[in-house]
Amino acid sequence: MNTIDLTPHLAGLEAGQLRVARCRACGESRFPPKPVCPHCRVHGDIEWFTAAGTGTVWSYAVFRKAYFPPPGPQPPYVVAVVLLTEGVKIISNVTGGDVRVGLPVTATFERVNGTPLVRFRPA
């Protein structure tokens, strides 16, 4: 089984940066990266880059039930698919306002139980 090392993404979160993968062959960005590019079918030729951390809400759901005990997210909270400026979609939380499809957002970084995370807020 082929796996992709997410160390560059996690190191980016530690540094307050959103790093995503890009295929060196065709230039298409993606996250999470796959062993084979879904666009050009080249195997394993990726590079990591720092995304701008901006985008728009592509889709979202408001969770009204607690699925994890504190310090996990407590309802209501938003899980969204954010379409980054670079054209790649990432799933995360949107905090700090009314959420709608098309809402411009920007990345924020925080630690939860020692784990660095990216969240988004209205831009």
Answer whether the bond into residue 76 is a cis peptide, omega within 30°.
yes
Cα separation, 34 vs 43, whole angstroms: 9
CATH number for the domain including 108? 2.40.50.840
Q: What does the pLDDT look like over 62-77, one tens digit per residue?
A: 999 999 888 778 899 9
% of the chain surpassing 90 pLDDT = 73
Residues 58 and 34 in one domain: no
- Which one, of 78, 113, 107, lies nearest residue 13 by Cα? 107
Q: What is the mean pLDDT of residues 45-52?
A: 94
**pLDDT, the chain, mean:** 92
Neighbours of 88 (CB within 10 A): 19
Average pLDDT over residues 44-66: 95
When pLDDT is cut at 50, 70 and 90, the band that residue 2 belongs to is low
Number of separate domains in the chain: 2
Q: Could you tell me if 100 and 57 lie in one domain?
A: yes
Query: Does residue 87 share a domain with residue 118?
Result: yes
Angle made by CA atoms 93, 99, 105, in degrees to the nearest 5:
65
4 with 45, same domain? yes
Q: Are residues 46 and 5 in the same domain?
A: yes
Q: Are residues 25 and 56 in the same domain?
A: no
Instruction: Examine the pLDDT at 49 and tell me if it is beyond 90.
Output: yes
Q: Indicate whether 45 and 67 sit together in one domain.
A: no
* Same domain? 34 vs 58: no
Q: What range does the domain containing 17 cover?
A: 1-50
